[in-house]
Amino acid sequence: MTGPTLITEKMLCNFARELTGQKENYYNDWAREVETRGGAMEKAEKMKKELRKNPFPTVDIIIKIRDEDGKPGFILIKRKNPPCGWALPGGFVEYGETLEEAAVREAREETSLDIELLAQFHTYSDPGRDPRFHTISTIFIAQAEGRPKAQDDAQEIGIFTATTRPHPLAFDHERILTDYFCTRKTRRF
């Protein structure tokens, strides 16, 4: 193999590893196979075709909490980064992390609170739910105590009720909360 072909293969393998989040070193395995069988460019083309564009897994959390007066509510954050606006705390699931671990981590990062997960509520997958790219979000119901503090991606933080929440909300969080409040009448969380 010559230099330019080898660089292209290595770059493609590393790119595939980054996209898929795999920790294995595809390049070493692939290079061994190429040395023994040949056909490097054919393998590169096949790999390009095999790479698929997949939705990103995310979590959002409806965190039930009492305000300073002891009244029940839930937490919303005002996002620092686009798309801006008020939203449920949440974010991307990291490679090697469960949905539950991601929910606990994101809640702590954005609200400074340790939460207790109560239930997995629903999964939302409309390709247009996030204007940046296709995400699939699993929603959790949780509870917390203490005073939330805006951190990480949160510019502001607040405790709201069904009637005091700001409108509109970012992403599809208006729909999520509407579904939650409708379902809450028949399901206990």
Cβ contacts of 99 within 8 Å, gap of 6 or more: 57, 59, 93, 120, 138, 140
Output the six-digit token pair for 155: 């510019």
State yes or no: is 9 an active-site residue. no
Element containing residue 4 per DSSP (H, E): helix 3-20
Catalytic residue among 33, 35, 94, 156: 156
8: left (phi over 0), alpha (psi -120 to 50) or beta: alpha
Rounded to an integer, what distance in angstroms lies between the CA atom of residue 142 and that of residue 139? Answer: 10
Whole-angstrom Cα distance, residue 174 to residue 169?
Answer: 6
Q: Residue 143 pairs with which residues in a beta bridge?
A: 64, 116
The strand pairing partners of 123, in sequence order, are 138
**Which residues does the annotation mark as catalytic?**
156
